[in-house]
Amino acid sequence: MKLRLLPSRLPAGTKALVRVDYNVPLKGLNSHRRVADTMRLERSLETLRQLMDQKATIILLSHLGRPKGQVNLEYSLRPVAEALADLIECPVTFCPETTIDRIASFVHQQPVGSIILLENIRFFEGEKKNDPVLAKKLAGLADIYVNEAFSAAHRSHMSIVGLPQYLPSYAGLSFNQEVQTLHQLMTKPKRPLVVIVGGAKISDKVGAVEHLAQIANVVLVGGGVANNFLAADGFDVANSYLQDAPVDMKQAGNNYVHFAQQLIHKNRTERVLKDDYIPLPKIIYPTDVLAAPSPTSKTSCVVELCGQNGSCKQSPKLMYLDIGPKTIRLFRDVILSAGTVFWNGPMGVFEQPGFSQGTAEIAKAIAKTSATTIIGGGDTIAAINQLGLTQRFDYVSAAGGAALAFLAGKTLPGVKPLVVNCIKSKKIVSI
């Protein structure tokens, strides 16, 4: 796959329409709202500086939240403009207008080389509908289009797939890095490749887990996702969280225990050697768990699923809320022998101190290994931030659903317009 990058030289006075993902958490009320996490803003800075160096006028497009195609100032990007100005250390002009004519007038009044952040693109009903009329009018503001929002690349929205139809289009540096990293993971990982899957939800990870299982040497399963695999293998999961609501109606009625059964069956004959002589199955789920009546319980106990030495017996009133000490040791040993590690999803209810040890120990093991390490998922990122380990990983992906769709082997709507054979470009990058 080859993506087009920005040319090394742009004509003087070029206007660049840059789609970014500034869908960030805000804190405070009304005029005192501030950006609580600047990670997504920081990811766009290298591309913005590249355009600034070429004296381009930068027009930024982003969504924030789900305002349902209507103006709702609760989702205004004004606080984001202030945070971006602090990060990039130069003025960022916020455009509060919400009609195309007024936006055009506002943009044309700004001096060459300005950075302009338009108001939330989801205030326009035509954004989610990929309205070609809206796309053509917005495209008229600029000379080129740059996509720096890989985390929105799985959406067939106007600002993702509509605008590239009317402008020469390029991948931003962060967008390209994400594609490179995930593509490398799927095609040329350093072996052994260890995939770790956790978190509460399995429905939005089914495609990625199924596809990665074909590539990985080992798949370690924890969190609420593991309950589906335990149930599939005949273990009693008591009162544990088992099924989550599907992420969309297309997945309604899916049986995730059945999915786990199929994956276990498909990989039942594959083995990996631990310490060069102990055979382990390719799909590994907990052998012991930390259990309690609820996530807020002050006390817990270890339930051994493959043995009789736990501190308590299985009970229909218990919930499995973290991986147990033996599972931690097993997972750690596998991780430390890896060549590449991909991790998405906590090992337990890490928000509760009593059920955070599994996630913390796995994070420390990944940070310690000499393997190439790739982390994804909002909860996983929150966990490593909480542990102060973020800088210890080779790549941290904030792309969420887009990354999972890419890892499921899907062609993302936002990537397709940027491949080199769509429009000729002098500068390309091979991945």
Whether residues 93 and 145 share a domain: the answer is yes
Specify whether 164 is located in the same domain as 20: yes
Domain check: are 324 and 415 in the same one? no
pLDDT recorded at residue 269:
81
**For range 140-149, the mean pLDDT:** 98
pLDDT band at residue 425, thresholds of 50, 70 and 90? very low
Are 56 and 16 a contacting pair, CB within 8 Å?
yes
Given a cut of 90, whether residue 101 has pLDDT beyond it is yes
**Contact indicator for 62, 85 with CB cutoff of 8 Å:** no
Instruction: Report which secondary-structure segment, H or E, holds 173.
Output: helix 173-187
The rounded distance, in Å, linking the Cα atoms of 217 and 51 is 42
Both 17 and 103 in a single domain?
yes
Residue 116 φ/ψ, nearest 5 degrees: -120, 125
155 vs 152: CA distance, rounded Å: 6
Q: Are 218 and 195 in contact (CB under 8 A)?
A: yes
Q: Could you tell me if 394 and 372 are in contact, meaning their C-beta atoms sit under 8 angstroms apart? A: yes
The number of distinct structural domains making up the chain is 2
175 touches 150 (CB < 8 A):
yes
* Cα dihedral 34→37→40→41 (10° resolution): 40
CB 303 within 8 A of CB 338: no
234 and 128 together in one domain = no
- The domain containing residue 123 runs over which residues? 2-175+411-425
Residue 396 domain-assigned? no
| Residue 10 scores a pLDDT above 80 | yes
| CA distances in angstroms from 98 to 70, 71, 76, 93, 106, listed in the order given | 10, 8, 11, 15, 11
Q: What percent of the chain has pLDDT over 90?
A: 77
User: Cβ contacts of residue 232 below 8 Å, gap of 6+?
Assistant: 257, 258, 260, 261, 264
| Shared-domain flag, residues 123 and 212 | no
Answer yes or no: is 308 within a domain: yes
**388 found inside a domain:** no
Both tokens of 287, joined, read 């052998």
Helix (H) or strand (E) holding 145: strand 144-148
Classify residue 430: in a domain, yes or no.
Answer: no
Q: Are 257 and 156 found together in one domain? A: no
- Condensed to tens digits (0 to 9), the pLDDT of residues 218-229 reads 999 999 999 999
Average pLDDT over residues 110-122: 98
The DSSP code for 52 is H
Do 296 and 232 share a structural domain? Answer: yes
Q: What is the tens place of the pLDDT at every residue in 43-99?
A: 999 999 999 999 999 999 999 999 999 999 999 999 999 999 999 999 999 999 999
Residue 420 is assigned to a structural domain of this protein:
yes
The pTM score is: 0.88
- Domain containing 13 — which CATH number? 3.40.50.1260
Domain match, 71 and 97 both: yes
Work out the average pLDDT over 352-381.
96
Number of residues in the chain: 431
Cα separation, 25 vs 35, in Å, equals 6
- Non-local (6+) Cβ contacts of 236 within 8 A are 314
CA distances from residue 68 to 126, 414, 418 in whole angstroms, order as listed = 10, 21, 28
> Are 222 and 304 part of one and the same domain?
yes
At 353, list the tokens.
């101190």
332-347 pLDDT, tens digit each:
999 999 999 999 999 9
Is 431 a residue whose pLDDT tops 90? Answer: no
DSSP state of 189: P
Q: By mean pLDDT, which of 36-50, 192-206, 410-424 is the weakest?
A: 410-424
Helix locations, 192-274, DSSP H: 206-215, 223-232, 256-266
Cβ proximity of 84 and 41 under 8 Å: yes
Cβ contacts of 134 within 8 Å, gap of 6 or more:
100, 124, 126, 127, 158, 162
Strands of 182-339 (E only): list them: 193-197, 218-221, 271-274, 278-281, 283-284, 288-292, 301-304, 319-323
Q: Which of 174, 206, 140, 210 is nearest to 22 (CA)?
A: 174
Domain assignment present for 330: yes
| Residue range 397-424: mean pLDDT, rounded | 88
Residues 208 and 152 in one domain: no
Residue 108 inside a domain? The answer is: yes
CA 115/CA 111 separation, integer angstroms: 9
- The encoded tokens of residue 32 equal 């005192």
Displacement of CA 200 from its chain's centroid (Å): 15
pLDDT value at residue 263: 92
- 224/24 Cα distance (integer angstroms): 26
- Nearest-Å Rg of the Cα atoms of the chain is 23
**Who has greater pLDDT, 248 or 143?**
143
Residues 219, 274, single domain; the answer is: yes
- 73 three-state secondary structure: helix
For residue 41, which of 87, 5, 76 has the smallest C-alpha distance? 87
